[in-house]
Amino acid sequence: MKSRIQEKYNSEFVPKLMEQFSYKNVNEVPRLDKITLSMGIGQAIENNKRIEAATKDLGTISGQKAVVTNAKKSVAGFKLREGVPIGAKVTLRGTRMYEFLDRLINLAIPRIRDFRGFPTRSFDGSGNYSLGLAEQMVFPEVNIDEVEFVQGLNITITVDRSTDEESQVLLGLFGFPFRK
């Protein structure tokens, strides 16, 4: 079953993008490939409960089980050893990705305090957009009473077959709030 934002993409956004960028084929139109949510937990070295809390929160936000990420290298300055758990991530594709994007735009972003829009300079040159949230509690799924640690959250939106300009137009059609 397709989400409402996915149906809107297929019925409204694809024709608009084909007209605006004069594509000859529907397969040239940029599309969302995946959305990756990640939390880097530097304090996990001292307190192992932070990893469990982060995976639980990411699972609640995404509706999918989070994967624990381990350190690739040892860094003596950070008291970090290779193989020690230092983060968690979730990769969303398909219907779950579109449903998450819908919740992000319509529910979570309006709950951010003093929000003035996301910068347009956060594109990576290949059409992918990255943003960071200061706390995971902007999502309505997260119960504030059960949160042990307030943690930041990184979100990367990967757009396939796209330049930065095309991705910005696509995300703007979805209703993504960019700074003017």
The domains of the chain, with CATH numbers, are 4-174 (3.30.1440.10)
Contact (Cβ atoms closer than 8 angstroms) between residue 77 and residue 171:
no
Q: What is the pLDDT along the chain (180 residues), one digit of tens a residue?
A: 788 999 999 999 999 999 999 999 999 999 999 999 999 887 766 677 888 888 999 999 999 999 999 888 888 887 778 888 888 999 999 999 999 999 999 999 999 988 999 999 999 999 999 999 998 889 988 888 888 788 889 999 999 999 999 999 999 999 999 997
Stretch (H or E) spanning 156: strand 153-160
Stretch (H or E) spanning 8: helix 4-8
Tell whether the torsion through CA atoms of 169, 38, 99 and 180 is positive or negative. Answer: negative
Which residues are bridge partners to 161 per DSSP?
A: none
Which residues are bridge partners to 158 per DSSP?
A: 34
Residue 69 CB: number of other CB atoms within 10 A? 16
pTM: 0.90
Q: First CA to last CA across the chain, in angstroms?
A: 35
